[in-house]
Amino acid sequence: MEDNVTLIGFMGAGKTTVGQRLAERLSRRFVDVDEVIESRAGMSVAEIFAAEGERGFRRREADAVRDICRAGGQVIAAGGGTVMDRDSLARLRRSGAVVWLRGDMDELLARAAAQSQRPRPLLKRPRAEIERLHAQRERVYGLADYVVDVTSKTPDDVAAEVERVIQGLDRPARVTVPVRLSERSYDVHVGPGLLDEAGELCCAAGARGKGLIVSNETVGSLYGGWLQRSLSLAGLRVPRVDVPDGEEFKTLDTARRVWRAAVSHRLDRRSFIIALGGGVVGDLAGFAAATFLRGVDFIQVPTTLLAQVDAAVGGKVGVNLDEGKNLVGAFHQPRVVIADVDTLRSLPGRELAAGLAEVIKYGFIADPDLLQFVEDRLERLLAGDPAALLRVVARSCDIKAAIVAADERETRGLREALNFGHTIGHALEAAGGYAQLLHGEAVAVGMVGAAMLSARTGGLPAGDVKRLVALLQRAGLPTAPPEVDEEELLALIRRYKKALDHRARFVLLEEPGRWVVRDDIPEELVLEIMREQRSVWATTS
């Protein structure tokens, strides 16, 4: 069956007009969800609202979507609220591409009001309510496969643009996520092809003159020359130092190599250091930047999914000691983060899946819409589809940015949500000598443990535990811990640096999107849950 194309967006975005033009261009059938509802009901939308209320209308809408999605090869214009129903959104996504026609709210409202042939029940609501509704809907629209801006464009132009993005002729547009930290604020740019723009983006963020790229042998040889070209075109002179690849090199010795390279290249107080690589390079280079000459500017160019969705945002930098991970470090926010999703194409599949574990974490602690997107688009994500990756990276950065802005230095307890799955995860990583499980894999196992603990102690519905396990398994991530020495594991959990007074702290869920921290979980229960994990959920790795 040929894929459908569904246009979504707020009222006034032009879904119907653009949809008709697009259908002509593509020689496809055009279907308008509202029209299907009206012709079936023999009433107008306004009449249905009056007779049956919004709930009656939404029920008819969900029925219409179910039937429309039985056919393929159509251009579908959804109603403004159609995709607020999770099942309808999942159906539309499964049947093809979803495109958000985005526009400025005031312009859209003006356009909607001008289209008087079409009654708009929602327009009658008070302004504050419309704004709330708009914000709520944008959270969902923002997880469309493609976004096309309609501001001051004709329907024909928009239709042509939609055609190009869905056919892959135009690159999906970049998304910029602001991290708001007053004078330390910065932007996270997420998009394809950003390495080519890195020079301009660095200059726009205040980089001048001399810098130093820190990368590793793997990433440096893939993308180092590329980044250097882009920087030199922008007038920046930036030599590169490649450190050895691996977590075992995130040490003071390697930091010393970076400091010495900085000296030999004559960096000064106004110079900057750019990290090009995964979380290891980011943490190390950031630490070197935080300490060299008491701190120079720092720029992140993350190239793993884990670094793009997590490590590169938030300003935590540091190195490991023999005694434990990340024991020495600083808070040093970057000036800009440049996440080029095209670099993920060369990332090994196992690393990609490990990064997805952190995305699934965000879904469970903060964002059911993101969770559903990952469920609906998992195959594309695992296949490295840049449009799908762009959406999850941008949304993950959005969530992390909000948490970091509210609790920059982890003093208010909000940033702790990010540790969901990490209490057990860190212990498992350490127990395996950091060689057995990747960080994201350990977090996957830890999230299952935390979810089962939540179900046992706080009433997380069993269905949500199953949902988590099913998703992780589909992603090829482990869901049960390897056999480990239980005493050693408990000791590691107690020693986890986030444990205050050596009482293990667990981030538990009451429901997806609602979390609590508990430090009173009996150790025996933790062990019991992990044994249960082993016997119930077969390991997939």
Ligand X SMILES: NC(=O)c1ccc[n+]([C@@H]2O[C@H](COP(=O)([O-])OP(=O)(O)OC[C@H]3O[C@@H](n4cnc5c(N)ncnc54)[C@H](O)[C@@H]3O)[C@@H](O)[C@H]2O)c1
Q: Where on the chain is the footprint of ligand X (CB under 6 A)?
A: 216, 218-219, 222, 245, 247, 250, 277-281, 283, 303-304, 306-307, 310-311, 314, 316, 325-326, 343, 346-347, 351, 439
Annotated catalytic residue, options 335, 422, 429, 505: 422
Tell me how crowded residue 136 is: count the other CB atoms within 10 A of its CB.
Answer: 12
Annotated catalytic residue, options 52, 163, 410, 511: 410
216 counts as catalytic: no
Backbone phi and psi for residue 243, each to the nearest 5 degrees, phi listed first = -95, 165
How far, in Å, CA of 257 to CA of 244, rounded? 11
User: Are the beta carbons of 507 and 362 closer than 8 angstroms?
Assistant: no
CB of 284 to ligand X, least distance (A): 8
In the complex with ligand X, the residue whose CB is nearer, 250 or 395, is 250
In the complex with ligand X, the residue whose CB is nearer, 37 or 493, is 493
CB of 15 to ligand X, least distance (A): 37
How far, in Å, CA of 103 to CA of 10, rounded? 8
Backbone phi and psi for residue 495, each to the nearest 5 degrees, phi listed first = -85, -15
Tell me how crowded residue 465 is: count the other CB atoms within 10 A of its CB.
Answer: 22
Annotated catalytic residue, options 91, 391, 400, 505: 400
400 counts as catalytic: yes
210 counts as catalytic: no
Annotated catalytic residue, options 70, 183, 294, 323: 294
How far, in Å, CA of 76 to CA of 133, rounded? 22
In the complex with ligand X, the residue whose CB is nearer, 303 or 423, is 303
Of residues 296, 359, 308, 304, the one with CA closest to residue 337: 308
How far, in Å, CA of 341 to CA of 303, rounded? 8
514 counts as catalytic: no
189 counts as catalytic: no
Annotated catalytic residue, options 257, 426, 429, 505: 426
In the complex with ligand X, the residue whose CB is nearer, 60 or 332, is 332
439 counts as catalytic: yes
In the complex with ligand X, the residue whose CB is nearer, 254 or 343, is 343
In the complex with ligand X, the residue whose CB is nearer, 248 or 379, is 248
**Three-state DSSP class for residue 192:** coil
* Cross-strand pairs, 148: 101
CB of 266 to ligand X, least distance (A): 28
Annotated catalytic residue, options 316, 325, 335, 395: 316
| Antiparallel, parallel or unpaired: β 4-8 and 96-102 | parallel
Residue 473 burial (10 A CB sphere; 0-12, 13-18, 19+)? middle
User: Are the beta carbons of 389 and 341 closer than 8 angstroms?
Assistant: yes
The region that residue 477 occupies, defined by phi over 0 for left and psi between -120 and 50 for alpha, beta otherwise, is beta
CB of 283 to ligand X, least distance (A): 5
CB of 224 to ligand X, least distance (A): 11
Share in percent of the chain as helix, strand, coil (round to 5): 55, 15, 30
How far, in Å, CA of 294 to CA of 25, rounded? 59
CB of 236 to ligand X, least distance (A): 22
In the complex with ligand X, the residue whose CB is nearer, 12 or 277, is 277
Of residues 212, 208, 211, 191, the one with CA closest to residue 338: 191
316 counts as catalytic: yes
The residue with its CB nearest to ligand X is 279
In the complex with ligand X, the residue whose CB is nearer, 28 or 361, is 361
CB of 225 to ligand X, least distance (A): 14
| Antiparallel, parallel or unpaired: β 240-243 and 272-277 | unpaired
| Antiparallel, parallel or unpaired: β 211-216 and 272-277 | parallel
How far, in Å, CA of 328 to CA of 402, rounded? 25
134 counts as catalytic: no
Annotated catalytic residue, options 161, 358, 408, 429: 358
How far, in Å, CA of 263 to CA of 292, rounded? 9
CB of 434 to ligand X, least distance (A): 9
Annotated catalytic residue, options 28, 419, 441, 505: 419
Give the residue numbers marked as catalytic: 294, 316, 358, 400, 410, 415, 419, 422, 426, 439
